[in-house]
Amino acid sequence: MINYALMILFLFIAGCTDSKGQGSQKQSPGPSAASELPKVGQKVTFVELGSLNCMPCRQMQPIMQAVEKKYGVQLKVVFYDIWNPKQSQYAAKYGIRVIPTQVFLDSTGKEFFRHEGFLSEEQIDVLLKQQGLASLSGKQR
């Protein structure tokens, strides 16, 4: 059963590579891959699991950067490139089926929301406001 699930995951992942089967390693990975442990003032951790070689995952990069800037210390954004051998274990840790997958953790590290596929900044704003986060700019959408 596990081998079948891994085969499905790898078939999906293979479909997200560019036409040459390779991706550019020159792009910025966005928010750093770091511990999800909450820090003082942090209310939510946003974990993005994807790859820089996947187009929908690439489209999430500026959104992750924007919400990280918008919510400051209230939000920690973590990106794991699961095609990177040093970060591939996070696919199993979070039990992902497709990329990109977004996992949102509360201040205790408990998952409260998960989404598969592209997630817009507006949708993330609604979710974060439901968790009590406020934009640092004070502008409401």
Domains of the chain: 2-17+29-130 (3.40.30.10)
Task: Go through 34-46 and write b for each residue having 16 or more CB atoms within 10 A of its CB, e for each that does not.
Answer: eebebeeebbbbb
Shortest CA distance to 115 belongs to which of 66, 73, 69, 63? 63
Question: 49, 96 in Cβ contact below 8 A?
Answer: yes
Q: What is the pLDDT of residue 39?
A: 55
Q: How far is CA 21 from the centre of its chain?
A: 22
Measured CA distances, 49 to 1, 89, 104, 113, 141 (Å): 22, 11, 11, 14, 26
> Rounded CA gap, 1 and 9, in Å?
12
Q: What is the pLDDT of residue 106?
A: 95
Q: Is residue 133 predicted with pLDDT exceeding 70?
A: yes
The pLDDT tens digits for 78-99 are 999 999 999 999 999 999 999 9
**Which residues lie across from 46 on neighbouring strands?**
77, 104
